[in-house]
């Protein structure tokens, strides 16, 4: 079946989403055009608004449309604790576990030389600044227990070694190769509590 150029373009654009192949992209495009104009309008508007306005928190690099994200703005969070995670979804996972009251630093990825992602792309100079300021006493590294997550954790531990703070790594409970986002809240809370000091 041959689609007109605008429809073909929409199908092609939808394929940028993770896990969406040509068949499902086609299905989504046709659904939006045929059956749910209102939904499609809302999708288009909110996508445009989010793209135009969402940036990174100047302090923790989490995604937000404000200069500082909601968590950084709060005064009741423990400013001595900083938890380093790979993605905004990890922040949501730890927040829903409900036992961590410190602040976060979001790498938005992990070290991956093959993809050209180095310390600069992860904002590690910013992490060093963050940790140096206002009384941070402990940095908990909660990157995924994948090879890349472990490599990133080692790098960060080395980087912060000279700062006079405790550096810990979340421990048991998170399976090897596991991504934080998919670990249940209780396990995550235990992993945070059982964190170990990185020598």
| CA 199 to centroid of chain Cα atoms | 26
Per-residue contact track with Zn ion, 38 to 57, x per CB under 5 A? -------------------x
Number of helical H runs and strand E runs in the chain: 8, 7
106 binds Zn ion (CB under 5 A): no
Could you tell me the smallest distance in angstroms from the CB atom of residue 198 to Zn ion? 24
* Span near Zn ion by CB under 5 A; candidates 3-11, 64-72, 145-153, 167-175: 64-72
Whole-angstrom distance, CA of residue 83 vs CA of residue 103: 6
> Three-state SS for 197?
strand
Per-residue contact track with Zn ion, 66 to 95, x per CB under 5 A? ---x--x-----------------------
Cβ atoms < 10 Å from Cβ of 150:
17
Whole-angstrom distance, CA of residue 166 vs CA of residue 184: 26
Whole-angstrom distance, CA of residue 127 vs CA of residue 5: 46
Kindly determine how many residues on this chain lie close enough to bind Zn ion according to the rule CB under 5 A: 6
Could you say which residues in the range 115-154 bind Zn ion, by CB under 5 A?
Answer: none
Could you tell me the smallest distance in angstroms from the CB atom of residue 59 to Zn ion? 5
Which of residues 138 and 150 has its CB atom nearest to Zn ion in the complex?
Answer: 138
In sequence order, the 6+-apart residues with CB closer than 8 A to the CB of 93 are: 180, 181, 183, 185, 188
Could you tell me the smallest distance in angstroms from the CB atom of residue 21 to Zn ion? 35
Could you tell me the smallest distance in angstroms from the CB atom of residue 123 to Zn ion? 12
The site for Zn ion (CB under 5 A) is made up of 57, 59-60, 62, 69, 72
């Amino acid at each position: 079946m041959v689609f007109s150029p605008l429809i073909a373009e929409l199908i092609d654009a939808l394929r940028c989403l993770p896990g969406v192949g040509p068949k499902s992209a086609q299905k989504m495009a046709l659904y939006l055009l045929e059956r749910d104009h209102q939904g499609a309008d809302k999708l288009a508007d909110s996508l445009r608004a989010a793209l135009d306005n969402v940036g990174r928190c100047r302090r923790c690099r989490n995604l937000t449309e404000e200069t500082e994200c909601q968590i950084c703005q709060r005064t009741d969070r423990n400013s001595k604790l900083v938890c380093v995670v790979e993605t905004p979804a990890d922040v949501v996972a730890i927040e829903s576990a409900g036992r961590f009251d410190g602040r976060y630093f979001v790498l938005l990825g992990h070290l991956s030389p093959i993809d050209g992602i180095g310390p600069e792309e992860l904002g590690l100079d910013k992490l060093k600044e963050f940790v140096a300021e206002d009384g941070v006493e402990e940095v908990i590294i909660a990157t995924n227990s994948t090879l890349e997550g472990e490599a990133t954790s080692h790098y960060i531990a080395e980087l912060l070694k000279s700062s006079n703070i405790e550096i810990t790594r979340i421990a048991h409970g998170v399976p090897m190769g596991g991504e934080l986002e998919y670990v249940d809240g209780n396990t995550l809370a235990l992993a945070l509590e059982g964190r170990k000091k990185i020598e």
